[in-house]
Structure 1
Amino acid sequence: MRALPQPKPEDFDLATVLHALGDPVRLELLQRLAADGETTCSPEGMTVPRSTLSNHWRILREAGITSTHISGKTRLVTLRRNELDARFPHLLSAVLDEFTRSFANS
């Protein structure tokens, strides 16, 4: 499997991570990823165009939130929770918990 370029944990930038976490579509992708552990770049049930999803995944990967590996024609995405938590403790959990609460109340 070939990995796409992504930052090292020590290079994570808070502003870049917060920007990546500031979009509802990306938050939904992360919510699904946190539940599943790994997904393809085109998860089922998403109504967003594939090209738009590709851009969202790129933003998440370049921020260091996800890792994308290429296996044949498939791109597999995993959450870099441990690395993100080591750099910014509890940030991801707090954001995803709030997203879940907001989504449940709407």
Structure 2
Amino acid sequence: MTGTVILIIGLSLMRVAAGWIVDGSTEGAPPINVAFAFCTLLLIVLIHRAEGETVGPRHQGDTASRIRKATESAHSRRAGFAHPGTCQRPTRSGGSA
């Protein structure tokens, strides 16, 4: 859902960006504006590629595993287990369960 919203916002801003490039001219875009637009695009692509090593599906998997562990831990505490992920009940007198 979030990706769709970002896509729609980005597509709606394309018209604004194109208007800034041509700067209201009917004869075409001034070369300096095209150069600025190209440099901006290049900078965004380079930043995206540099962050590609640390952002992406691998991080999403890490987030999912952290959420799963936290959920299992919460369920274990509610069930009264001594340690999350084990089936040992806590003892009151120091003996084994």
Is the pair's TM-score, using the shorter chain for normalization, greater than 0.5?
A: no
Q: Which structure has the larger Rg? A: 2
TM-score of the two chains, using structure 1 as the length reference: 0.28
Higher relative helix content:
2
Q: Which has the higher contact order (CA 8 A, sep 6+)?
A: 1
Higher relative strand content:
1
